[in-house]
Amino acid sequence: MTVQPFEELVDDHGPVVMRVIRVLLGPAEAEDAWSETFLAAFEAYPRLRPDSNIGACLVTIAHHKAIDQLRSRRRAAVPSAELPDRIADDGCVGDGDADLWAALEGLPFKQRGAVAYHHIGGLRYAEVGELIDSTEVAARRSAADGIAALRRIYRRGAP
C-alpha cells in the first residue's frame, strides 16, 4: 500500500476540518487553529497506522487545537473601559481601604496566611502549609475558606 501524499490529505480533508473549527471558534480564530491542526498532523503523519481513519484523526486534532485556543482566550487579558481602584506603589492595597483591612484582620490567622501566601505571594500550597504549620491539603482548605469568608464579609462599595 502506498502512502497518500500529505498535500492530497490536506486537499481532501482541509475543508471539513475548517468547518469544524469555525463552528468551535468562529471565523476570526479558525485559520490559526486550522494551521496548527495540519502542522500537528504533518508531524504525526509518518507514524500513522495504515488502517487509521484519517478524517477522524484530523477532526480529533482540530478539537484539541480548538480547546487550546479557548483556554488561551480565557487566560488573555480583557480590555476594560473602567480602571480598578489605584493600588499603592508597592503593589499592596492602599491604606484608605479600611473595610478590606478589617475583613482581612477578621479572618483566622491560618486563613489569612494561606490567602496571603498563595494568592498574593504565589507560593504553592505545600510551601504555604509549611509556613502556617499545616499540611498541603489543610493549607488549600484554609485558603478556600479564607476567600469564601472575604467574599461574604467584604463588599467593595457596599454600604
Q: What is the CB neighbour count within 10 angstroms for residue 97?
A: 17
Shared domain for 14 and 68, answered yes or no, is yes
Residue-level pLDDT at 11: 92
Secondary element (H or E) of residue 102: helix 98-105
Q: Is 10 a domain residue?
A: yes
Shared domain for 104 and 51, answered yes or no, is no
C-alpha 127/C-alpha 92 separation (Å) is 22
Sign of the alpha-carbon torsion through 104, 147, 72, 84:
negative
Confirm if 6 and 34 have CB atoms less than 8 A apart.
Answer: no
C-alpha 104/C-alpha 116 separation (Å) is 10
Residue-level pLDDT at 74: 73
Residue-level pLDDT at 85: 58
Q: What does each C-alpha distance from 118 to 9, 13, 35, 57, 129 come to in angstroms?
A: 49, 47, 38, 41, 10
Shared domain for 12 and 67, answered yes or no, is yes
Q: Is 45 a domain residue?
A: yes
Range of the domain at 15: 6-75
What's 14's domain CATH number? 1.10.1740.10
Q: Is 80 a domain residue?
A: no
What's 116's domain CATH number? 1.10.10.10
C-alpha 52/C-alpha 78 separation (Å) is 41
Residue-level pLDDT at 94: 47
pLDDT string in tens for the chain (159-residue length):
567 888 988 998 888 888 888 877 777 788 899 999 999 999 988 888 888 888 888 888 888 888 888 888 777 777 777 765 555 554 444 455 667 777 777 888 788 888 887 877 777 898 888 878 899 999 999 999 999 988 888 765 555
**Cell numbers standing for residue 90:** 508597592
Residue-level pLDDT at 86: 52
| Amino acid identity for residue 13 in this structure | H
